[in-house]
Amino acid sequence: MTIEQFCKKHPCLYHMATADALPQIEKYGLLSTQATLELLSIEGEEREKLVSHRRPKSVILVSPQHGRFVLRDQIPMRDAALAQCLTGMSIPDWYRMLNERVFMWATRERVETLLGARAYRGKDHLVLTIDTESLVMDHGLDLRLSSINSGATLYTPPTRGVNTFSPVKDYETFNGTKPVVEVTVVGSIPAMREYILSAEVRRVGP
C-alpha cells in the first residue's frame, strides 16, 4: 500500500478522548502515555507501573504547571487472554509498545462501536475527526498501521506481537487484504490542532 492509496481509502481518521480534553490537545498536541509522563516529569516506579501494566480504570494526573491529564483505562484488555495470543514479546513489553503510541481509528464505525461499548456508554466523550492527508504530510513516515484492535483481548482475540504495527508500505506484507483498524504515531502529534476537521462531544445511550 502506498501513502496515496492509504489517504484515498481513509480520508479521515478518528480519535476518542475525555470530554474536556480539547483545550489540552490544542495546547500540547495528542500525547501518548509515555509522552504525557515525560511532560509531567513522572519517573521511577510510578512511571514503570503506568507503562508496563494494564490500567483497569482511568488514571488522573494533575500538574500545577500543565494541568489535568487522563490516562485512559484499558478495560478491554485481559492479561490471561493476552498471554494466549501474544507472540515474540512479554506482556509488559506489549503494554510499553501500546503506551508509546498515539492511536486513531481508521473508520467512523470503530468510534461508534467504542462509544456504545458497555464501559463507555452513557458518558460524554470527545470525538475528533482528523484530516488524513494533512497529517500524513507531516507524519507519514512515522505512521504505523494495525489490522486489529490492539487494546482489546475480548472475544477470541487475534494473534499480536512485534509486527502488529507496520509502516504503510509494509502493511500488506504483514496483513494481506485485512482492512486497517488502527493508525498510530509513536510519541506525540504536537500540532494536532492543525489536522482536526471537527471536534464534538458525543454520548451514546442514557
N-terminal to C-terminal alpha carbon distance within the chain: 41
pLDDT band at residue 206, thresholds of 50, 70 and 90? confident
Domain residues for 19?
A: 3-202
Percent of the chain with pLDDT over 70: 100
Condensed to tens digits (0 to 9), the pLDDT of residues 16-40 reads 999 999 999 999 999 999 999 999 9
Cell 494541568 locates to 67
Q: Tell me which amino acid residue 89 is.
A: M
Q: How far is CA 94 from CA 77, 82, 86, in A?
A: 11, 9, 8
Number of continuous H segments (helices) and E segments (strands) in the chain = 9, 12
pLDDT of 118: 87
pLDDT of 199: 97
Q: Which three cell numbers stand for residue 32?
A: 501518548
Q: Would you call 168 helix, strand, or coil by DSSP?
A: helix
Contacts of 134 (CB under 8 A, 6+ apart): 194, 195
Condensed to tens digits (0 to 9), the pLDDT of residues 131-159 reads 999 999 999 989 999 999 999 998 899 99
Cell 480534553 locates to 21
Q: Would you call 26 helix, strand, or coil by DSSP?
A: helix
Instruction: Say how far apart CA 21 and CA 23 lie, in whole Å.
Output: 6
The domain tally of the chain equals 1
pLDDT of 144: 97
Helices 44-52 and 91-99: crossing angle in degrees, nearest 10, is 100
pLDDT of 19: 94
